[in-house]
A = this chain, B = another copy of it.
Amino acid sequence: MGEKRIRAEYESVAVSTRMRLARNFKDYPFPGRLLSDPHAAEQSGEMIRLLSAALAGVEDFTLYEMESIPEETAARLKERYLISRELMRNRKISAALISRDESISVMINEEDHLRVQYFMKGYDLHRAYERIAGIDDIISDSIPFAYDEKLGYLTACPTNLGTGLRASVMLFLPALARRGRMKRIIPTLTRLGLTVRGVFGEGSGAEGDLFQISNEITLGLDEEELLFGVEQAVSIIVETELLERGRMKAEEGIELKDKIFRSYGILSSCCRLKEKEFSARISDLKLGTVLGYMGREGSMSELDQLAIAMRPASIRALAGCELGEEEGAIFRAEYVAKKIKEMGLLS
C-alpha cells in the first residue's frame, strides 16, 4: 500500500515514459542521400517490405506510407507524437508502422532509416527500455544495421551516434514552473548532459506546465549508464516538484485553491475557449487533482486525454471539418464543458 501511494505520488510528476532508438540499414544509402537517388522509390519500397516482414510477429501494426496518406491523417499522427515533421518532409520515401494501441511507432526514412519509439503511461525507464530493446533485437535478426565497433550504431546526426538511444520522461511541473524555479533547474540539467524543454514550443515556456526531459548524449555511455543518468535527474526533479507543491499549497493556500476552482468553473461553463487558455486551465485542474482539491483515481488520465483531444487536428477530426479560430474556440468550449461535467471532478 505504501509503495503504491509513493508510486502514485511519483507518477503525479513523471507522467509518461518514451524510449527512442535510431538505427540505419547497412545496405542502403542514408535517407539524406536516398532522397536524391534515382532508385529512391524502389529502395524505400524494399526497406518498408523488409521492416514490415520483420515486425509481423511482434504486434498488429498499421502501415502509413507518407506519400499516400491524407495531410489530415499525417497532422493527427504528428499531434499524437507518433510521427515527426521530418518524416512528413521526406514523404517520397518515408513511412510509419504504428501499433494498434499506439504504444509503438517505427518511422522509416526519417533522419535515419529507422526511428523506433515506445511510449508508455507512467514512469518506468527500465520496462520501456526492455520493450524497445526487444523490438530492436527482432528487427536486427533479419536486417543488418550500420554498426561500427568503435562508434557503435551509425546515425545521420552525430548526436545520435553510439547507442542511438534517447530516453525521455514527461514531467508535469506546475509548482516549479509557476513559481519561477525552472530557469535555475534547466541550466543544471544541461550541464549534466540532459535536455529539458516545454512540450509545446521549443523554448522553456511550456504550456500546460508539461516538460520533457531526455538525455542529450548517446555516445560514450552504455545504455545502463544513460538510463541511470536520466533516472537520477528525474528523481531529483520529482522530489523538488513535490516539495514545491507542498510549499505552494501552504503559502498560497486559498488563493491557489480559488484559482483552481475558478478554472473549473470557467471550463465547465464558458462558451468560447482559445487553445492557450484551455492549456493553462486544464493544467490548473490537474494541479487541483494532484493537490487533492478535486478528482479521483483516473482523473489525471482523463484530463490528459482531454488535452490531447483538444489539439487542432484532433478538433478538426471531431468537428468533421476545418474550423476558423473563432469557430474552433466555440467548439472547444462546448466539448470541454461536456467532458469536464462528465468527469465528476467535484463529486
- Identify the A interface with B (CB < 8 A): 254-255, 257-258, 261-262, 264-272, 326, 330, 333
**Alpha-carbon distance A277/B265, docked complex (angstroms):** 15
Residue of A254, A257, A265, A272 with highest tally of chain B CB at under 10 A: A265
Closest chain B residue, CB of each to CB of A330? B254
**Alpha-carbon distance A88/B285, docked complex (angstroms):** 49
**Alpha-carbon distance A2/B272, docked complex (angstroms):** 35
**Alpha-carbon distance A264/B270, docked complex (angstroms):** 9
Q: How many copies does the complex hold?
A: 2
Chain B residues closer than 8 Å to A271, beta-carbon distance: 254, 257-258, 261
Cβ-defined partner of A265 (8 Å) among B254, B257, B265, B272: B265
**Alpha-carbon distance A254/B334, docked complex (angstroms):** 12
Cβ-defined partner of A266 (8 Å) among B255, B257, B262, B272: B262
**Alpha-carbon distance A265/B257, docked complex (angstroms):** 15
**Alpha-carbon distance A257/B268, docked complex (angstroms):** 14
Chain B residues closer than 8 Å to A272, beta-carbon distance: 254-255, 258
Cβ-defined partner of A269 (8 Å) among B254, B255, B264, B333: B264
**Alpha-carbon distance A278/B134, docked complex (angstroms):** 60
Closest chain B residue, CB of each to CB of A270? B262
**Alpha-carbon distance A261/B265, docked complex (angstroms):** 9
Q: How far is the CB of A38 from chain B (nearest CB, A)?
A: 56
Chain B residues closer than 8 Å to A265, beta-carbon distance: 262, 264-270
Question: Can you show 18 pairs from A to B with CB atoms below 8 A apart?
Answer: A254-B271, A254-B272, A254-B326, A255-B272, A258-B272, A258-B333, A261-B269, A261-B270, A262-B265, A262-B266, A262-B270, A264-B265, A265-B265, A265-B266, A265-B267, A265-B269, A265-B270, A268-B269
Contact A262 B258 (CB under 8 A): no
Residue of A257, A258, A269, A326 with highest tally of chain B CB at under 10 A: A269
Given contacts A265-B265, A265-B270, 6 further A-B contacts (CB under 8 A): A254-B326, A254-B330, A258-B270, A261-B269, A261-B270, A264-B269
Chain B residues closer than 8 Å to A255, beta-carbon distance: 272
Residue of A266, A267, A268 with highest tally of chain B CB at under 10 A: A266
Which 10 interchain pairs have the tightest Cβ spacing? A265-B269, A265-B265, A258-B271, A258-B272, A261-B269, A265-B266, A257-B271, A262-B270, A264-B269, A261-B271
Closest chain B residue, CB of each to CB of A293? B271
Chain B residues closer than 8 Å to A270, beta-carbon distance: 258, 261-262, 265
